[in-house]
């Protein structure tokens, strides 16, 4: 079917819409947006609005890019970048449930799900196939890895490594085993991930140094385990910690 713009929807001149998009009644798509094919924007969502940044220059050509097949539900807000020529980016086939928020300069991968009222502050990255539970909130500049499960009402203020589950305040509670199996990750890779998790989180010392040493030693062969270890080499924030490790440090 052709792209459909319903009565009372606002699509500003200059917005770029792909094939077979649907912009429902009362939705707003600003001139700063680039939407891929089959993107659906539900009523009262605002895509490409100004960032919530006090020093923002509204004359800047800063944008939002959304990949094909992404669904934006009611009252979702996706803000454009604060930098000229830059964009807030969402990948393909994402699903943003009602009242979720993506702030300026976020980079969200593909096949990511935001439950109702999940919130990203500015400059957050979220990897492919991750899930943010209802009312979860992520601090600015945090990294959420691939296939991460964030519990509802979680408060994330640190980086969360690939393939893990995180709850409450930065508590890593294990691996996202269900998500990994659904993606067809082989058992040998899941076994190595569990071993790498134990090595990183329960070996005394700096977590970055431990991960780097295990990676350099070639102790793990699967791509998934190596990707998990490589995560700790990046970012500027500290890392969410395993719950048992936190409890031991507090004793």
Q: Is 0.75 topped by the overall pTM?
A: yes
- Asked if pLDDT for residue 4 goes beyond 70, the answer is yes
Both tokens of 225, joined, read: 């385990």
For 51, half-sphere exposure in the C-beta direction (CA atoms, 13 angstrom radius) is 28
> Which region among 44-48, 114-118, 243-247 has the lowest average model confidence (pLDDT)?
243-247
127: domain CATH number is 2.160.10.10
The tokens 């294990």 sit on which residue?
A: 174
Task: Give the pLDDT band (50/70/90) at residue 236.
Answer: confident
Residue that is last in its domain, among 115, 141, 167: 141
pLDDT at site 244 = 64
pLDDT at site 190 = 95
Q: Is 78 in the same domain as 189?
A: no
Convert the pLDDT of each residue in 95-117 to its tens digit.
Answer: 999 999 999 999 999 999 999 99
**CA-to-CA separations, 153 to 62, 76, 118, 181, 182, in angstroms, rounded:** 31, 18, 8, 25, 24
Both tokens of 130, joined, read: 């991750």
Task: Give the pLDDT band (50/70/90) at residue 251.
Answer: very low
Convert the pLDDT of each residue in 72-99 to its tens digit.
Answer: 999 999 999 999 999 999 999 999 999 9
Q: Is 139 a catalytic residue?
A: no
CA–CA separation, 128 vs 121, rounded Å? 18
Q: Is 188 in the same domain as 128?
A: no
CA–CA separation, 5 vs 94, rounded Å? 20
Name the average pLDDT for the chain.
95
Both tokens of 87, joined, read: 């964009």
Residue 50 DSSP symbol: P
Q: Is 104 a catalytic residue?
A: yes
Residue 169 DSSP symbol: B
Helices and strands: H and E segment counts in the chain: 5, 26
Query: Among the options 42, 104, 111, 162, which is catalytic?
Result: 104
Q: How many domains does the chain divide into?
A: 2
CA–CA separation, 23 vs 36, rounded Å? 13
What is the domain range of residue 32? 4-141
pLDDT at site 111 = 98
pLDDT at site 137 = 98
- Asked if pLDDT for residue 46 goes beyond 50, the answer is yes
Q: Is 122 a catalytic residue?
A: yes
- Asked if pLDDT for residue 246 goes beyond 60, the answer is no
Q: How far is CA 251 from the centre of its chain?
A: 33
Q: 133 near 148, Cβ under 8 Å?
A: no
Percentage with pLDDT > 90 across the chain: 92
Residue 16 DSSP symbol: E
User: What residues does 166 pair with on adjacent strands?
Assistant: 150, 172
User: What residues does 10 pair with on adjacent strands?
Assistant: 28
Q: Is 123 in the same domain as 8?
A: yes
CA angle 212, 218, 223 (to 5 degrees): 90
Percentage with pLDDT > 70 across the chain: 96
- Asked if pLDDT for residue 23 goes beyond 50, the answer is yes
Query: Among the options 48, 67, 109, 122, which is catalytic?
Result: 122
pLDDT at site 1 = 67
Task: Classify 249 as helix, strand or coil.
Answer: helix
Query: Among the options 49, 105, 123, 145, which is catalytic?
Result: 105
pLDDT at site 250 = 43
In 3D space, the residue among 122, 63, 73, 119 whose CA is nearest the CA of residue 94 turns out to be: 73
Q: Is 40 in the same domain as 104?
A: yes
For 10, half-sphere exposure in the C-beta direction (CA atoms, 13 angstrom radius) is 12
Look at residue 221 and tell me if it is in a domain. Answer: yes
Q: Is 76 in the same domain as 191?
A: no
Using DSSP bridges, classify how beta strands 171-175 and 164-167 pair: parallel, antiparallel or unpaired.
antiparallel
């Amino acid at each position: 079917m052709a792209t459909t713009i319903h009565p009372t929807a606002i699509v500003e001149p200059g917005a770029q819409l792909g094939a077979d998009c649907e912009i429902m009644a009362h939705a707003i798509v600003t001139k700063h947006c680039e939407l891929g094919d089959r993107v659906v924007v539900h009523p009262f969502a605002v895509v490409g609005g100004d960032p919530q940044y006090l020093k923002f220059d509204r004359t800047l050509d800063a944008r939002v890019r959304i990949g094909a097949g992404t669904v934006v539900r009611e009252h979702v807000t996706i803000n454009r970048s604060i930098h000229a020529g830059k964009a807030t980016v969402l990948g393909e086939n994402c699903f943003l449930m009602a009242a979720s928020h993506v702030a300026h300069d976020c980079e969200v991968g593909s096949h990511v799900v935001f439950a109702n009222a999940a919130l990203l502050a500015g400059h957050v990255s979220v990897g492919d196939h991750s899930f943010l539970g209802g009312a979860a909130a992520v601090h600015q500049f945090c990294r959420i890895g691939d296939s991460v499960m964030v519990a509802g009402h979680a408060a994330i203020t640190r980086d969360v490594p690939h393939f893990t589950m995180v709850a409450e305040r930065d508590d890593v509670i294990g691996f996202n085993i269900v998500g990994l199996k659904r993606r067809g990750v082989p058992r040998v890779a899941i076994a190595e991930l569990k071993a790498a998790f134990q090595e990183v989180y329960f070996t005394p010392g700096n977590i970055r140094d431990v991960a780097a040493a295990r990676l350099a030693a070639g102790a793990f062969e699967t791509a998934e385990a190596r990707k998990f270890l490589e995560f700790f080499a990046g970012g500027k924030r500290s890392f969410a910690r395993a719950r048992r490790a936190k409890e031991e440090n507090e004793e």
